[in-house]
Amino acid sequence: MLSVNDVNWTETLSFRLGALGAVISDQYAEELAEVGLKPKHVGVLGVLDAGLASSQLEIARLMRVAPSLVVSLADHLESKGAIQRLRDPADRRRQVLLLTDEGRALLGRCTGMALALDARLAAALTPSQQAALRDALDRLAVAYDLPARE
């Protein structure tokens, strides 16, 4: 293991992943602005599409954000016709979010934008490097209890 004196902080894995993540997140946010969304909006659509959660509170826990943020995100998505809010028949205090056909189409468009960004990002890597990167990211995601490819 390297000592603190052997490494410049900009060489650390945590700094490099964070900096690259920030740049890529900004690029994706710029792409999404075209459809009036932010990355967290797409996160809600993805959670609903995958059936991982349906209530605003469950979504907030899964996305690790404040419930009030999910309410705001859902308000925006509902105004775009991407989701519907329904009262849970088993618990009238709880609202269930449902992805609409328009929401699925919007999620598909956002996924296309992400895939185009992926292609630009991976263009500097060989196919074997791309596979190794995907594998490493999957392992890190699992280690941090985040979604990984199946």
* Residue pLDDT tens, the chain, 150 long: 667 777 788 989 999 999 999 999 999 999 999 999 999 999 999 999 999 988 999 999 999 999 999 999 999 999 999 999 998 888 888 889 999 999 999 999 999 999 999 999 999 999 999 999 999 999 999 999 887 776
CATH class assigned to 4-143? mainly alpha
Closest CA to 109 of 32, 8, 51, 38: 32
Chain CA centroid to CA 19, Å? 17
Cβ atoms of 138 and 131 within 8 Å: the answer is no
Q: Give the CA count within 13 Å in the CB-facing half-sphere of 52.
A: 16
Q: Give the CA count within 13 Å in the CB-facing half-sphere of 145.
A: 4
pTM of the model: 0.86
Chain CA centroid to CA 31, Å? 14
Cβ atoms of 105 and 99 within 8 Å: the answer is no
